[in-house]
Amino acid sequence: MERQISILVVDDEQIVLDSVKKHLRKTDYNVQTVSSAQKALQMIEEMEFDLVLTDLMMPHIDGLELMKIVKSRYPKVPVIMITGYAAADTARQATRLGAFDNVAKPFSKVELITAVNRALDFVEQMRASEDSATRDDISDS
């Protein structure tokens, strides 16, 4: 049996958390939502996530800092930045720091699902590549 895909969504606005959950409701994903980066870091320690979506502007620890922490601890977990500040320089900075993609608020269901599916396809390709390399290592033994 395949493991269910787990997605962590981090945003200090409940309306955004509700929107993401609503858009992903008909998927088979396990979607967890938290309202702060601190809570996100606790969740990441307790559970394995395949994808993180985080708001850029949050109190205390912003989305860029959260992304840096996630990427340093779990480099294979893609992070999608959600921002109401869709300036090109912010998107470039997030990408330079390791964001897989950016989704501007307000986002449509199609925009969100497209970004999520691209990130999860990337995760699947990485896993398939690792599985293939592991099988090659075993057969070389």
pLDDT digits 0-9 by tens, 85-120: 655 677 677 888 889 999 988 899 999 999 999 999
pLDDT digits 0-9 by tens, 21-52: 999 988 889 999 999 999 999 999 999 999 99
Which domains are assigned to the chain?
Answer: 6-136 (3.40.50.2300)
Return d(Cα 58, Cα 38) in angstroms, integer.
Answer: 11
pTM for the complete prediction? 0.87
Contact by Cβ (8 Å): 30, 4: yes
Both structure tokens of 64:
């860029």
